[in-house]
A = this chain, B = another copy of it.
Amino acid sequence: MTEPTDIDHDLAVTSRRRLLREGGALIGGAVVAAGLAGGEALAAAETDNLPPNVPEWMKAPGDPMGSQLYGTPSPFEKGVIKNIPKNLPQYLSASGRTPLQDLDGIITPNGLFYERHHGGVPTIDPAQHRLMLHGLVDKPLIFTMDDLRRFPSESHIYFLECSGNPVYKKPYGKTASDLVGLLSCAEWTGVSLKLVLQEAGLQPGAKWVIAEGADAAALTRSIPIEKCLDDAMLVYSQNGERLRPQQGYPLRLLLPGFEGNMNIKWLRRLRVAAEPTYSREETSKYTDLMPDGTAREFTFYMEAKSIITRPSGGQKLSAPGFHEISGIAWSGHGTIKRVDVSVDDGKSWQEAQLQDPVLTRALTRFRLPWHWNGESAVIQSRATDETGYVQPTLPELLAVRGDNYFYHNNAIWPWRIAATGEVTNAYA
**A contacts, CB < 8 Å to B:** 1, 7-8, 11-12, 14-15, 18-19, 22, 26-27, 32, 35-37, 39, 42, 46, 49-51, 53, 55, 57-77, 80-82, 84, 88, 90-91, 94-96, 102-113, 115, 117, 119-126, 128-130, 132, 134, 139-144, 146-147, 150-155, 186-189, 198-199, 212, 214-216, 218, 220, 236-237, 239-246, 249-250, 266, 268-269, 271, 277, 279, 318, 322-324, 326, 355, 357, 359, 365, 367, 369
Return the contact of A18 from the options B115, B141, B324, B326 (Cβ within 8 A). B141
Chain A to chain B contacts (Cβ below 8 Å), 7 pairs: A35-B134, A55-B124, A55-B129, A57-B216, A65-B121, A74-B126, A76-B125
CA distance A62 to B113 in the complex (A): 18
Q: A70-B112, A151-B11 are in contact. Are A65 and B88 (CB under 8 A)?
A: yes
Cross-chain contact B141 with A102 (CB below 8 angstroms): no
- Contact present for A216 and B61 (CB under 8 Å): yes
Instruction: For A103, give the chain B residue with the smallest CB separation.
Output: B240
Residues of B within 8 A of A250 (CB): 74, 76
Q: Are A142 and B107 neighbours in the complex by a CB distance under 8 Å?
A: no
For A96, the closest partner residue in chain B by CB is: B65
A379 to chain B, nearest CB (A): 16
CB distance from A147 to the nearest CB of B (A): 6
What CA separation (Å) do A80 and B63 show in the bound complex? Answer: 22
Contact across chains for B134 and A42 when beta carbons are under 8 A apart: yes
Residue of B nearest to A62 (CB): B120
Residue with the highest number of chain B CB atoms closer than 10 Å, among A68, A90, A186: A68
With A15-B141, A142-B22, A155-B106 known as contacts, the answer to whether A117 contacts B65 (CB < 8 A) is yes
Instruction: Enumerate the 9 nearest inter-chain pairs by beta-carbon distance, A residue then B residue, closest first.
Output: A62-B120, A104-B189, A65-B94, A57-B122, A105-B155, A69-B81, A61-B120, A104-B237, A62-B122
Q: Which residue of B lies closest to A80 (CB)?
A: B241
- Bound-state CA distance A245–B90 (Å) is 34
Nearest Cβ on chain B to A178's Cβ, whole angstroms:
16
Q: How far is the CB of A250 from chain B (nearest CB, A)?
A: 8
Q: With both chains docked as a complex, state the minimum distance between the C-beta of A391 and any C-beta of chain B, in angstroms.
A: 22
The residue on B at minimum CB distance from A363 is B240
Q: Min CB distance, A78 to chain B, in Å? A: 9
With the chains together, A108 CA to B155 CA distance in Å? Answer: 13
Hey, which chain B residues are within 8 Å of A121, CB to CB?
62-65, 67
Answer whether A55 and B128 are a contact pair too, CB < 8 Å, given A63-B123, A115-B65, A121-B63: yes
A367 contact set on B, CB distance < 8 A: 152-153
- State which of B64, B120, B365 has its C-beta within 8 Å of the C-beta of A120: B64
Nearest CB of chain B from residue A327's CB, rounded to whole Å: 12
A113 to chain B minimum Cβ distance, whole angstroms, is 7
**Contacting residues, chain B, for A186 (C-beta < 8 A):** 107
CB distance from A24 to the nearest CB of B (A): 12
Chain B residues near A63 (CB, 8 Å)? 120-123, 245
